[in-house]
Chains A and B, each alone.
Chain A
């Protein structure tokens, strides 16, 4: 197979960027998208040019490092899945493929297709945890969690923190990311003591990072590689409303 690529190239955070055209030839349909970029990069290095910078690590869809917008879709056309799980058999031979970084103000660009997503870490630092000190835990089976609740919690906890939700959202909102963490912990009995403060702090941190607001377009859940449901955003809204009321009531 062969493809025409239009790849966003931008040398530094402040330099102007533009789409640059490359040809990818003799690509096997069983090559992954990132491996195809590897091959293009090998070619660039051979010509003495700088290879395209792009993020990836585990290349099996779990670490959340890869962050490409392929043909206008975060993580490309193969939902649910991360960009590293997209295979070239998904594209038509001879197709033009546009590759851009994740774009959102809280994700400043570092180089080419690489962006800084530390904003997501800061949201978790604001309260996305249970304050459990090592050595202080009771015997594991003394905390019973109904299977149904554990399953729901797991579904929320599956978030890989890639930021595709914010990248795909027309408003660059990170509600799905925040909702997943808030829900994961709110579904569990262990998460109850900090439930109120957690959601308030995390939402405040999210807003402070400059993410946009949710207007319920559900674009986030459509591109989420971990299939996190946007109904968790409703849950986040609910948790936030209740927590705000509780705080007002002075509890």
Chain B
């Protein structure tokens, strides 16, 4: 239950974050002003961050303890175990979750704390004297390894969500026999839309469809 509820919070964040990021296609002004607005929230931003952090921690704590319990529930493994219906995504939630976690940590270090790429310190403010998030993103993604890791991270996130989204309805008892298959399909479509949305950014950068707003 807690896993489901925190999951929803995180899904909401994932959607919001995607909408924010997609503004990159609207040009530097949009993104930079969006970033500025976020920063202007001040303590509220920190409150949101704290809330997300708590959600993530709870989500992780409960899923890990569930996973441990689940492993204990079958001390002797099958020699051969076939799956009739369980999808790959549903069986490897802990795995995909942990890799996504690793990705998030890197991602935060990369774009939020900006400790991995010294070039970001060289960025000048944009014409309206805002931090040039736009150029930071573009430079960040021009590195093929960064983009590759980002895409892999997003792939696993999508995998995680393809099960997690519909799973939420089941865990909270918000579905029935008719709804279940529809929700499962909707969950999958949603997850892969998220994937397409997020990966469109590094792809666009790598293919030079989006260029930095300033030279370093």
Q: Could you tell me which A residues sit within 8 Å of B by CB distance? A: 6, 8, 19, 69, 71-73, 79, 98, 100, 103-106, 109, 168, 170-173, 210-219, 221-223, 229-231, 233-241
Q: Choose, from B86-94, B105-113, B126-134, the stretch at the interface.
A: B86-94
Q: Are B74 and A234 in contact (CB-based, < 8 A)?
A: no
Across the two chains, which residue of chain B brings its CB closest to A106? B73
Across the two chains, which residue of chain A brings its CB closest to B175? A234
Q: Are B173 and A238 in contact (CB-based, < 8 A)?
A: yes
Residues of chain B with a CB closer than 8 A to A79's CB: 84
Q: Are A72 and B175 in contact (CB-based, < 8 A)?
A: no
Residue-wise interface mask of B (157-196) relative to A, using a CB-CB cutoff of 8 A (1 in contact, 0 not): 0000001001101111111110110000000000000000
Sorting the interface of chain B by its residue count into under 10, 10 to 19, 20 to 34 or 35 or more gives 35 or more
| Residue among B170, B172, B175, B180 making CB contact with A241, cutoff 8 Å | B172
Residues of chain A with a CB closer than 8 A to B215's CB: none
- How far apart are the CA atoms of A73 and B86 in the complex, in Å? 12
| Residue among B78, B86, B173, B174 making CB contact with A219, cutoff 8 Å | B86
Query: Given that A216-B167, A216-B170, A234-B180 are contacting pairs, would A104 and B85 also be in contact in the complex, using a CB cutoff of 8 Å?
Result: no
Shortest C-beta distance, B132 to chain A (Å), equals 43
Residues of chain B with a CB closer than 8 A to A236's CB: 173
- How far apart are the CA atoms of A219 and B81 in the complex, in Å? 11
Query: Given that A19-B79, A71-B82 are contacting pairs, would A171 and B93 also be in contact in the complex, using a CB cutoff of 8 Å?
Result: no
- How far apart are the CA atoms of A88 and B52 in the complex, in Å? 55
| Residue among B76, B84, B90 making CB contact with A216, cutoff 8 Å | B90
Q: Could you tell me which B residues sit within 8 Å of A by CB distance? A: 1, 66, 69-87, 90-91, 93, 163, 166-167, 169-177, 179-180
Residues of chain A with a CB closer than 8 A to B70's CB: 170-173, 212-213, 215
Q: Are A218 and B173 in contact (CB-based, < 8 A)?
A: no
Query: Given that A212-B74, A215-B90 are contacting pairs, would A231 and B176 also be in contact in the complex, using a CB cutoff of 8 Å?
Result: yes
The listed residue with most A CB atoms (<10 A of its CB), out of B66, B73, B93, B170, is: B73
- How far apart are the CA atoms of A131 and B66 in the complex, in Å? 34
Residues of chain A with a CB closer than 8 A to B75's CB: 105
Residues of chain B with a CB closer than 8 A to A210's CB: 72-73
Residues of chain A with a CB closer than 8 A to B175's CB: 231, 234
Shortest C-beta distance, A210 to chain B (Å), equals 6
- How far apart are the CA atoms of A215 and B74 in the complex, in Å? 15
Residues of chain B with a CB closer than 8 A to A105's CB: 72-75
Shortest 5 CB-CB distances between A and B: which pairs?
Answer: A238-B173, A212-B73, A72-B82, A222-B85, A171-B70
The listed residue with most B CB atoms (<10 A of its CB), out of A69, A106, A170, A238, is: A170
Shortest C-beta distance, A108 to chain B (Å), equals 10
Query: Given that A8-B79, A229-B177, A237-B170 are contacting pairs, would A217 and B91 also be in contact in the complex, using a CB cutoff of 8 Å?
Result: yes
Q: Are B79 and A231 in contact (CB-based, < 8 A)?
A: no
Q: Are A212 and B171 in contact (CB-based, < 8 A)?
A: no
Q: Are B66 and A235 in contact (CB-based, < 8 A)?
A: no
| Residue among A72, A222, A234 making CB contact with B170, cutoff 8 Å | A234
- How far apart are the CA atoms of A240 and B1 in the complex, in Å? 11
Across the two chains, which residue of chain A brings its CB closest to B178? A231
Residues of chain B with a CB closer than 8 A to A239's CB: 173
Query: Given that A219-B86, A234-B173, A235-B176 are contacting pairs, would A71 and B80 also be in contact in the complex, using a CB cutoff of 8 Å?
Result: yes
Shortest C-beta distance, B92 to chain A (Å), equals 10
Residues of chain A with a CB closer than 8 A to B73's CB: 104-106, 171-173, 210-212
Q: Are A213 and B72 in contact (CB-based, < 8 A)?
A: no
- How far apart are the CA atoms of A210 and B70 in the complex, in Å? 9
Across the two chains, which residue of chain B brings its CB closest to A6? B79
